Amino acid sequence: MHISAKADYATRALLELACEPARPLTCEAIASSQQIPFRFLKSVVGELRKAGLVRSQRGCEGGYWLGRPAGEITLLDVSRAVDGELLTLRGEPLTGLDYPGAATGLPGIWRRIEADAAAVLGGVTLASLVPVAESGQLSRRGAA
């Protein structure tokens, strides 16, 4: 399984927002804190907004907040928001995959791997990761 840079950056940005739920954070602040390329982060945050995982407000008091509580956002939600399918084969979803002859059982293995990965990612919420962030193991950003 490949974890894309988009999924990694999206998760790290959302964790920053989860650590500061009372006020909006700017993309600049998040990018600086997490050492993420700003332009790439702007694109990723746009996808998170479309998926309802963040909300935004323009202006001098603006920035981004979580779109729903951290306890309701899973790593599976994040991955699907920015990457679509969790596991693909040559860029195609596993649905309808069928092999002939000796490889007949292989698509079932790929689907089982996808289901197991989805179960793991679906069982981890942002809220479950925030205490790690607060203990200083993840970088917390300064003022926006």
User: Where do the domains of the chain lie, and which CATH numbers do they carry?
Assistant: 5-134 (1.10.10.10)
pLDDT at 106: 95
Q: Is the pTM of this model over 0.95?
A: no
Mean pLDDT over 97-121 rounds to: 95
Mean pLDDT over 62-66 rounds to: 92
Residue 126's SS3 state is helix
Residue 136, burial from CB neighbour count under 10 angstroms (0-12, 13-18, 19+): exposed
pLDDT band at residue 6 under the 50/70/90 scheme: very high
Where would I find the beta strands (DSSP E) of 1-144?
Answer: 54-57, 63-66, 88-89, 92-93
Cα first-last separation, the chain: 35
Mean pLDDT over 135-144 rounds to: 41
